[in-house]
Structures are given as structure tokens and as C-alpha cells.
Amino acid sequence: MLAHLLLEPGKISYEEVETPVPGPGEVVVRVSTALTCGTDLKAFLRGHPKMPMPTLFGHEFAGDVAFAGRGVRDFREGDAVMAVPTAPCKTCYYCRHEQENLCTTIMDNMVLGAYAEYVKLPAAVVETNMFPKAALARVRRGRAARAAVVRRPRDRPSARAPRRHGADHRCRRDQPAAPAWC
């Protein structure tokens, strides 16, 4: 397949690479739309500690399931999907306190490679943060959809959690320091 790689800050190549193959629980999505977010921009301009280069690039995307790995039950090939590019571990301090956005390992299995024909999603993302596009359509029509999609911002754990390890990071005595990447 053809993919964009970030070779070093400021330098992108477009080249042929191996098409990903899904392992157990994983899914390979045929990318139909890929967007650019601030993290992409920062990585392009100055690098990113969680994206050793050269790296497949891009992580905001939608598409359809091209290949589903063994054990994937909720999605079938051809399903139109979108996904959050990370998934919380559900076991660390922050996950146990409904602060999944500060999960200490959330970046370890980040989806990278949305600027390509296909992108592979790890099992944790497939299980927790991959959604059928039909769920969004239901939201648009005002009907009930999956709680993760429709919960109002103030109800989401991530909205209650401190967002940065800066002046507004309200640490508690028993709370470990926020991860350096946040």
C-alpha cells in the first residue's frame, strides 16, 4: 500500500510499504478520510516523544473494515467505522479514578498511519474506542446511541479530569504526577 511516513521533523515521504495484517482482536481499516490534528502538527514541526521516527503518520480517520482479525465479533468486513486512536488500560491509577485521559500507557498502542490506504487498529482500540458510523447517524437524528458517543462533555470523565500538568492541574496528595506527555 501507499503511505505517508514522517521521516524527521519537517520531512514526509510517500512510499510503498507493506499492507498491515490484523492479529487476533485487531482490525485493518481502509481509510476513506484522514484529518490533521494539533498532535500531528506538533510532531511534524518538532517531533514527538511517543512517535519515534521514521513513523507511519496520521491518527484521525474514518473508513471501512478491510480485514478483521481472529476473535473480532462486533465488526465485520465492510462496516463503516471511526475510532479514537488510543484506548485506556482500565487498570492504572487514573483509569480506576475515571481519568482515562491521563492513563499512563494510553500512548503505548496509539494508532499511527491514517495517512495511508490502510491503518491497523490494536485490539484495545477495537474493543473500547472503535464505533460504527451508524452510531453517529443516530446521534444526528437525536436518538439514543452508545453512551461514549452521546454523553455531554460535563458528564465525561475526561472533562472532569485535570487536562494539563500545569497551574490548573489540581493534584491530590494520593495522586501520582500526571504523565509527561499530557
- Of 95, 114, 119, 124, the one binding Zn ion by CB under 5 A: 95
Instruction: Give, as ranges, the residues between 143 and 182 that touch Zn ion (CB under 5 A).
Output: none
Which is nearer to Zn ion, 38 or 142 (by Cβ)? 38
Piece in contact with Zn ion (CB under 5 A), picked from 15-23, 29-37, 112-120, 169-177: 29-37
Residues 6+ apart with CB under 8 A from 159: 153
Q: Are 159 and 98 in contact (CB under 8 A)?
A: no
- Please tell me the number of Cα atoms within 13 Å of 50 on its side-chain side: 18
Question: Closest approach of Cβ 129 to Zn ion, in Å?
Answer: 12
What is the SS3 assignment for 60? Answer: strand
- Of 37, 45, 134, 148, the one binding Zn ion by CB under 5 A: 37
Q: Which amino acid is at 133?
A: K
Q: Could you tell me how many residues of this chain bind Zn ion (CB under 5 A)? A: 7
Piece in contact with Zn ion (CB under 5 A), picked from 16-24, 83-91, 117-125, 166-174: 83-91
Q: Are 138 and 144 in contact (CB under 8 A)?
A: yes
The three grid cell numbers given for residue 104, joined into one nine-digit string = 499512563
Site for Zn ion contains 103 (CB under 5 A): yes
Q: For residue 138, report the phi and psi dihedrals to the nearest 5 degrees.
A: -65, -40
Piece in contact with Zn ion (CB under 5 A), picked from 85-93, 122-130, 140-148, 168-176: 85-93
Site for Zn ion contains 35 (CB under 5 A): no
- Of 36, 39, 109, 175, the one binding Zn ion by CB under 5 A: 39
Site for Zn ion contains 56 (CB under 5 A): no
List the one residue out of 104, 129, 123, 126 whose CA is nearest residue 50.
104
The three grid cell numbers given for residue 6, joined into one nine-digit string = 514522517
Which is nearer to Zn ion, 66 or 95 (by Cβ)? 95
The three grid cell numbers given for residue 78, joined into one nine-digit string = 465492510
Which is nearer to Zn ion, 89 or 150 (by Cβ)? 89
d(CA 6, CA 168): 33
Site for Zn ion contains 92 (CB under 5 A): yes
Binding stretches for Zn ion (CB under 5 A) = 37, 39, 88-89, 92, 95, 103
